[in-house]
Amino acid sequence: MKLNGVNKLFIAIAIGLTGLHVYRVLHYRAWDRYYYFTNICTPTGHPAYVRDAYFITANGEGLSTIRYDESNHFQTSWKEFYFFPETHEKERLPQKLVVKYVSYRERKFYRDTISLPVDTIKWLTDQILMERKATDIYYRGRDVQGVTFLVGIANNGNILVWLKGEGVEHLVIRTRIKPIRPGKDDTYYDGQTMTTDAYIKLHFRGLDDSLKARIYTGWQAEANYKDSL
């Protein structure tokens, strides 16, 4: 059968669309995506203001948000998880954690990117799902099965990350980051660069005065949260 120009054009378009579909399927990698939710906790005696926190996923192709509203309103306790996990999409599992925060007690700024044990996280996540120990996560009007991450910001730059299911949790990383000398970007707020003291005073103004007084007397100064299991 002899093909005319129009038929050749339609065939070329069909091949192109098929190729595009295959590329999108392979690029999206639905089999490598999971429902999960992440929040941050801090010890009551070592409050921190989180300037930013998020996961980097899939070789840097995407970012996964982390909830830290409760932490920044000083409404969390150590290893306390947010009561309503939710997500807006299936995501690739995290490969790196980016965290930027200020310690009230130490009056120090921290900023770092932490590599996570990717293979361990994937294996543990698959095990939780396979063993039917997944957590209900709210997704577009219904509950779906997934896992949760809890990022703990302890004293002296210690960072812990737990992976949790229903009745099961795994500590996937425990590490320590170094404080930084804050630059202009670190103390920038509401159109102006502030002094370190002014920035700390502003962002910890909601911290209860009685807690400030207890911290001032040395309460929990030597607490060792980095060894929490």
Average pLDDT, the chain: 89
Residue 55 inside a domain? The answer is: yes
Cα-Cα-Cα-Cα torsion 56, 40, 185, 205, nearest 10 degrees, comes to 170
Cα–Cα dist 31/12, whole Å: 30
Q: Are residues 183 and 203 in the same domain?
A: yes
The whole domain housing 15 covers 1-31
Q: Are residues 137 and 166 in the same domain?
A: yes
Q: How many domains does the chain have?
A: 2
Q: Are residues 70 and 166 in the same domain?
A: yes
Residue 228 inside a domain? The answer is: no
Q: Of 134, 119, 211, whose CA–CA distance to 172 is shortest?
A: 119
Q: Are residues 93 and 206 in the same domain?
A: yes
pLDDT at 58: 79
Cα–Cα dist 160/162, whole Å: 7
pTM metric for this prediction:
0.86
pLDDT at 9: 55
Q: Are residues 178 and 126 in the same domain?
A: yes
Q: Are residues 40 and 10 in the same domain?
A: no
Q: Are residues 174 and 203 in the same domain?
A: yes
Residues 6+ apart with CB under 8 A from 83: none
Q: Are residues 134 and 217 in the same domain?
A: yes
pLDDT at 2: 56
CB atoms within 10 A of CB 124: 20
Residue 47 inside a domain? The answer is: yes
Q: Each residue of 29-70: pLDDT tens digit?
A: 578 999 999 999 999 999 999 999 999 997 666 899 999 999
| Average of per-residue pLDDT across 113-142 | 97
Residue 229 inside a domain? The answer is: no
Q: Each residue of 170-216: pLDDT tens digit?
A: 999 999 999 999 999 999 999 999 999 999 999 999 999 999 999 99
Work out the percent of the chain whose per-residue pLDDT is above 70: 85
